[in-house]
Amino acid sequence: MTLTIRPALPADVRGINRLVEPMTHTGILLGKDLVSYYEAVQEFLVAVDDEGTVVGCGALHVMWEDLAEVRTLAVSDAQRGTGLGHRLLDALLDRALQLGLSRVFCLTFEVEFFTRHGFEVMADVVDPEIYNQLLRSPDEGIAEFLDLARVKPNTLGNTRMIKALLAGD
């Protein structure tokens, strides 16, 4: 079976949802409405098999001029342990570099996985002026990045991690 990683299409949204939805019941990923996936479809990459079935996904959400977040990184149970998650993350990091970004954030339970890709547990790394600008965003991912108290129920047990990107990564 050949797996292809490509930008997501609106036609992939229901497949993304089918893949992610079971992980929301265990608290691994936060649940989203279908409309949220459609609105963000351009942020997603998908891995599809020969039949076009979505077997993996991940999104790169730009948060600031130099910063993005990896979101909704997931692979099907059948693809766990095959390296597909690593391939998807590498493709998202390549996309970040193409956009001229220098840092990528994630909020994860999978600390070891992201550490293998050069992510480090995050300390506060936001300039006060940027912090004040980011506070204005209604985006929950930005609230998680800033470690705001209002998202603590969503982030309990999660680890905030960041990676500095270098040309050639």
Where on the phi/psi map is residue 108: left (φ > 0), alpha (ψ -120 to 50), or beta?
A: beta
Token pair in block for residue 166: 């270098």
Token pair in block for residue 81: 């342990």
Assessment of whether the complete model's pTM goes beyond 0.85? no
Element (H, E) at 60: strand 54-64
pLDDT tens profile 49-91: 999 999 999 999 998 899 999 999 999 999 999 999 999 999 9
pLDDT tens profile 98-149: 999 999 989 888 899 999 999 999 876 566 666 667 667 777 777 766 666 5
**How large is the average pLDDT for residues 146-159?**
58
Q: What is the largest CA-CA distance in the chain?
A: 50
What is the model's pLDDT at position 156?
40
What is the model's pLDDT at position 148?
60
